[in-house]
Amino acid sequence: MLVRMNRTRANAMLALATLGFAVNFWAWALLSPLGPRFKDVLALSSSEQALLVAVPVIVGSLGRIPVGALTDRFGGRVMFPIISSATIIPVLFIGYAGNTSYPAMIVGGFFLGVAGTAFAVGVPFVNAWFPPERRGLAIGIFGMGMGGTAISALTTVKLVKSSGIATPFLITAIVLAGYAVIAALALRDSPERVRPTKPLLTRLAVIVRLPITWRASLLYAVGFGGYVAFSVYLVTYLKNAYGLTQTDAANKMAGFVLLAVAMRPIGGWLSDRVDAAKVLMAAFAVVVLGALGQASTPALAPWATIAFLGMAGALGVASGATFALVAQRTPAQHVGGVTGVVGAAGGIGGFVPPLFMGSIYGSHGSYAIGLIALAVVAVGMLGLALHTARTAERPRRRTKRLDRLTESV
């Protein structure tokens, strides 16, 4: 009976954390669907438009490093309400004051990036509630909260057209405030949560020396970073490459996002049963094929649709498998810190491609070079996943040294 009650409570905490992740990601992605509109209204270049939608990504990504470490220290019960409340200010600023000036939009986008740090709160929070054999699936389910970007894609443009520019921002702010209150009242940290006792900088010094930190960072920079890049830039890509309307392009981008979201827990579930590194190998192989196929800008139906949906599913699987790998190989007291670093790498991976694609299209009128570059990078990640899988199969020669390192912190 007690086990069943604990499992029920763990599932309830997972649901609340996933909701918080979705709400904050909804806010984090508000600028992306409006990128083409701001380009026209503010007379932006392709590079300026790409920078505008990418600024929240980079800030939210780098901010995950300190937020992840703070979550190790204070727990998700404290950090989720703080992050959600802090996000309300830039959301309202952009909606009511900052949307008529490019510099103001950059400032608003900078602080909007706070919403993206919610990921580094949720992973250690969820990880502590579940046993090792269920963490891959649990963290994969939590990762479905990235579907908040789909909410933004499906609603933002329509709300602006029907009710004005401020409407989607006001609605998002109200939802954020409601979640902050619910989180403050209902969230509870797991009794199994390991609380670090050493200072932040000391813990970060250990985290950066763990091999899993850098391997997972590279894998996530391409897996989740690729998803973020497409969710940010796909509307612009489809408008330029295929002449779609903004609404049609936003709907197709939402389909890409939803498939990636749905496949993330599948990646975690598979990693609970098969070595996570092998799941990553298969996922990146699909990305290579999809990117190479799309480089020639084939007909939208069926070839481009197949290429993009294949990459969406593969990137979702890779995202889920990467954090299953983190959960399996990271000392419990450092999960938040490692999550912060890895999550930052994923966001940075999503920051660079939109800028690169905007620059390439502005110079050559084609996205082929960018997609070929994605394929080359995915080949590298396939090789890293293979190396990681082989490393896991060898005797762990450095286990004692790693134990001494983590015990010291």
> ∠ CA(191), CA(268), CA(337), 5° rounding?
50
| Side-chain half-sphere CA neighbours of 258 within 13 A | 11
Per the model's pLDDT, the better-predicted residue between 187 and 331 turns out to be 187
Instruction: Provide the 8-state DSSP code for 301.
Output: I
Using alpha carbons, select from 316, 309, 282, 280 the residue that is nearest to residue 293.
309
Question: Which tens digits make up the pLDDT trace of 378-408?
Answer: 999 999 988 888 776 543 444 444 444 444 4
> Which of 99, 134, 170 minimizes the C-alpha distance to 265?
134
pLDDT in tens, 77-91: 999 999 999 999 999
- HEC sequence for 321-344: HHHHHHHHHCCHHHHHHHHHHHHH
Amino acid of residue 200: L
Q: Is 345 strand, coil or helix?
A: helix
- What's the pLDDT score for residue 380? 93
Highest mean pLDDT among 45-49, 189-193, 344-348: 189-193
The sign of the CA dihedral 77, 83, 86, 87 is: negative
Among 207, 124, 216, 123, smallest CA distance to 402 is for: 207
Contact by Cβ (8 Å): 203, 69: yes
Return the pLDDT at 392.
60
pLDDT value of position 5: 54
What's the pLDDT at 332? 66
Tokens read off for 371? 């997609």
Q: Are 220 and 322 in contact (CB under 8 A)?
A: yes
Q: For residue 313, with 0-12 CB atoms within 10 Å meaning exposed, 13-18 middle and 19 or more buried, which class applies?
A: buried
In a 3-state reduction of DSSP, which class is residue 187? coil
Mean pLDDT taken over the chain: 83
Contact 140, 269 (CB under 8 A): yes
More confident residue, 209 or 336: 209
Q: Is the dihedral of CA 266, 210, 227, 100 positive or negative?
A: positive
CB 344 within 8 A of CB 62: yes
Query: In which element (H, E) is residue 374 found?
Result: helix 368-393
Q: Return the HEC string of 80-110.
A: HHHHHHHHHHHHHHHHHCCCCCHHHHHHHHH
For the chain, list the domains and their CATH numbers. Answer: 2-407 (1.20.1250.20)
